[in-house]
Chain A
Amino acid sequence: MLLLVPLGGLLLLAVLFDYLVVVGPMRSTFDRSLADAAVVFAAYVRETPDGGVAMTLPEPLARQLAEVQGTRPRVALFGADGRYLTGDAGLPAPSAGSAGSGAFSFATAALGNEERLRVVWYRFEAGPRALVLAVGEPLGDREDATRPLVTATLTLDVLQLVAVVALVLIGVRQGLRPLLEFRDELTRRQDRGLEPLDESRAPQELKPLVAALNGLLARMQATAESQQKFVADAAHQLRTPLAGMQAQLELLERDAQALPVRDQVRAVREGLKRLAHTAHQLLTLARAEGSATLERDFAAVDLRALAEEAVAQYLDRALGKHIDLGAEAAAAEVRGVEWLLRELLGNLVDNALHYTPAGGIVTVRTGPCGDGAFLEVEDDGPGIPPEERPRVLERFHRAPGAGGTGSGLGLAIVSDIVALHGARLDLGAGAGGRGTRVRVEFGVGESAREA
């Protein structure tokens, strides 16, 4: 748009210039032919025997002149002093000038009846007398003659202007289209597109840009991958000693004879267990951020199988706490990262078992929902007050009265994983307003992303 203002100005200037170039020479051409006529008329000026002057043009010549001029010219004869002698009395008198014989002077004169005349005065000598011959031509005639030309020129100019503006608009849009498509593709891939862009599909002009971007993406991917490797190595290096210490403490607790020692060992073991859990969660968070940036990690995931697996996995813990853990799982498939969804579900079940008192009920559900699928975990524990709900998703946030355990990372991990899958998280109360129900809805967009 910024381009159109100067462009329009430039084109308007061109129109003005055309007008001047066409109209200027035409005026002088008309004037010259008027002067020619004056010279012709002057040749027929005769002195009359009575000492006056007379001007008689042979009829064929007069007709021919009229044809050339387009109209019968008005002619008058004046003395050098501007005195009217003979001819058309309507023509204006020349100004008394000192210009010599053979000089022309031009003027545009307005007549009383709105008509305007272009007049030429020709000074000449007929015998001893200095005379001025005036020839007038209605300006209207001239305009009639020039109008088609001017109109044609200006019409052409305006057409040209419109065409140029249109071409510029189309050209700019056409030229920008690959760039816009490129932008759309970049927008579409959102946060997980670290795969290189297809350079062969990019328009010629964009190829260097695409190549540069691919270089950047490759470096980012390398960074993501090395971070993944680091996290995996860190997991290994942390878990093995933790496993060793935990198992050793388990044996120590079993073998301890004195009760106070056994209690102390159990306390240390519980602490170590929490440490291991937190370490696992932190590593999960770190890996989740890196992993889901890779499109190749996404695949079809059977939510029902994950739900049943989670129930089987947490069954012993539930039995230990006298909680009825069960499933209401219908077939549900989403496109996602399987290990992340397993972590998500594990965290939800873990939380539910943690907060639900003995004798409670925890249910894992999956099924279709709209064009997508859902997954939810419901318990009949104390629930989360509505005002607390947004905050429980924050990292390291701990619900008031949550007791001494828990890292405050579980729901933050859930929230991250939900976001990475473009899913929707709903935190509410369970059936009858009791307990907590966490529902994750995977939209149609997620399952359609494969296409």
Chain B
Amino acid sequence: MRILIVEDDELVADALKRGLEGSGFAVDRVGSAESAEAALSAEEFDLALVDIGLPKTDGLTLVRKLRRAGNDLPVLILTARDALADRVDALDLGADDYLTKPFELPEVAARCRALIRRTRSATSAELHIGRLTLDLKSRTATLGGAPLEVTRREWSILECLALDAGRVVRKEKLLRAIASWDEELTPNAVEVYVSRLRAKLGEAVSIRTVRGLGYRLDEPAA
């Protein structure tokens, strides 16, 4: 997976490059929006990590230009400002996610992975989370290459959680995902299916309960 870092601050850019390389990404870095455009038109990338505060053209303008040109490359915005307006702008302009400085490198890597996974699942219909692979078309799962037996409802919940891996998925959303079929279901039903899934998945991925909210599926820490 190849990432383009667009950041003018030497210290930050260097740390991001080495940190992400350490997490298994191929990384290129440029220091301005202009050179980013040149790099993006010449090479294929899976994601761009764009700082808002760039020297000439700022990061938000770069994102807007990319989207206008029909480029749907996933973009993770980096900002040193925490003003709400900036975040809203970033997402409105077509950025996929944002991170505020200062950040921790594992967090950056996790966000990049999640973003790339989400974009790929839309095109390839295959989802990889650690040793778990979901085939969204045939609705089948494999764990470390071996088929994983799941019921249709378990599948629905697993798919929901996997598509938003690393993020909290509300219990109501999971309930809606399985409720379309037959009888009345209580939120307890979700708990039952989740605990069955946990037993089947073992250590491969973890499904955490977030009390009062829902669940979060996480890849085991590298």
Contacts and interface: CB of A to CB of B under 8 A. Distances in A.
Interface size bucket, A side? Answer: 35 or more
Interface stretch (B28-36, B61-69, B148-156, B208-216): B208-216
Interface centre among A251, A276, A342 (most CB of B within 10 A): A251
A239 B168 contact: no
B11 interface: yes
A325 interface: yes
Interface size bucket, B side? Answer: 20 to 34
Nearest to A327: B212
Given A251-B22, A324-B211, A244 B15 contact: yes
A338 B84 contact: yes
Interface centre among B9, B84, B104, B213 (most CB of A within 10 A): B213
Interface centre among A247, A251, A324 (most CB of B within 10 A): A247
Nearest to A326: B211
Interface in B110-167: 167
B101 A312 contact: no
A293 interface: no
Interface string B202-221: 00000010111100100000
Interface string A243-254: 111111011001
Contacts of B212: 311, 326-329, 363
Interface string A225-241: 00000001001110111
A102 B212 CA distance: 123
A310 to B, nearest CB: 11
Contact of A235 (B12, B14, B82, B170): B82
Given A240-B101, A250-B104, A326-B211, A315 B168 contact: yes
B80 A240 contact: yes
A302 interface: no
Given A245-B11, A311-B210, A328-B212, A239 B84 contact: no
B105 A250 contact: yes
A308 interface: yes
Interface in A205-232: 232
A280 B102 CA distance: 10
Given A235-B82, A240-B80, A254-B22, A248 B210 contact: no
A44 interface: no
A236 B12 contact: no
A154 B167 CA distance: 92
B81 interface: yes
Interface in B79-98: 80-84
Contacts of B173: none
Contacts of B100: 239
Interface of A: 232, 235-237, 239-248, 250-251, 254, 273, 276, 280, 308, 311-312, 315, 319, 324-329, 338-339, 342, 363
